[in-house]
Structures are given as C-alpha cells and as structure tokens.
Structure 1
Amino acid sequence: MPGYETADWDQLKVDMKRRWGTVSPERRYRLSSITELFTKTQQEGGMRNMTQYKKFIGEYEAIITYLKRYQYIQGDINHNQEILAGLSTSVQESIYKEMIKGRAMVQA
C-alpha cells in the first residue's frame, strides 16, 4: 500500500478503506481485561448480591464475546474459580456449604 511505503498515515487510511472497506475498529478489550475485571471486583469487596453478580457476568461475557469474535481467544474458557473468588467471603462460604451438602465438594 502506498501510504504504508511512504509512512503517510492519511494515505494509509484511504488505502485501508479502499482495500477492506473500513479501518479496523479500535480494540475494545485486551486479554488482560479479564484479570482486570476480577481484580476490580475483588478490590470492591466482591459480589454481595444478585444485582452485582449480574453486572459482573454481563461485563465478563462482553469481554469474552469480544475476544472470541476477534480471535484473541479460541474455544471455551472456564473461569469458575476466578468468578467464585470474585464473590464476597460470606457468599463464598454459603456456596461451599451448599456444595458440601449436595456432595459436589468434599469437606477438607
């Protein structure tokens, strides 16, 4: 592309639009966005109610969908442990108790 060869950004944008129809969208999320979301949630004391959980899951799914769409990740990603860690301590304890009752987890 002539704009690339001459290091002319304005020409390169024109060349890219001509070749691909539009300039690539600005990257909205990075791989580190997942970790940043978990860290932010934990720093805020974790998810303490259903509203906070739904907000978290909405953000998480938006990041995963974006990363898959633009092929930054492939296949299924399992972040169950990280999501559990993002819950408040009292909610985690309740989940552990229910898992032990339901025999989905062995008590240590």
Structure 2
Amino acid sequence: MSACAATGQQTPLPDAGNVALGQRAYADGPVIQPVAVIEDSRCPMNARCIWAGRVKLKMLWLRPTGEKQPFEVTLGEATPLADGSITLESVRPEKRTDVTIRPEDYRFSFRFAGGL
C-alpha cells in the first residue's frame, strides 16, 4: 500500500528525448532545462555550405537541493554534468533558408552518460 501512497509531487517530468525551450526534463539522472539558443549556425538543409555549423544552448541543471546551476551544451559534444556527461544529440526542426525558426518551435534531444 505504501508504494501507492501520494508523494505530493506534480506530474512526472518528461524524458529528455523531445524537450522545448523552458521545459524541464529528466535526463536519466539529472533534471535539465534548456533556456536559450545561444547559437544556431547549422547549414540550412536546402543550401550548400562549407561548414556544417553548430548549435549551442544555455542550460540549467536543477539540482536536488533546489539550486539551479547554469551550463552550456554544443550539439554533438559531451559536457561534464553531475557524475557524468550530457550530450545534445539532436535539434529540430531542420534549419532552412526560407523559414525562420521561432524559439517555441525548437525541440532538443539529450543523452546523459554516467552514474554508478
């Protein structure tokens, strides 16, 4: 019966596979929140580029103590966090030359590697 007792928590956090700006998510350990796109210089899918570009995000790690620790991530690069590292694995939608991506349209996927 105790396993069914109410814990007073709100709706469970979504996993980190489809996260919007400002949304909190559970990343297999830490709770994270993307707060701003610092850079989105990806090559548009309907253009030719000599550099693939990159995406950088301003993030928050919402620690169990209630502290909000800021950090940054770059698409495809592991960033140290907690007892492991977090990687921004994908950014949607694809960038295009004929469409401006609004902040509310972005979706991100993260992977956390670490823990015991």
Question: More helix by proportion, 1 or 2?
Answer: 1
Question: The TM-score by the shorter chain falls in which range?
Answer: under 0.3
Q: Which has the larger radius of gyration?
A: 1
Q: TM-score, normalised by structure 1?
A: 0.27
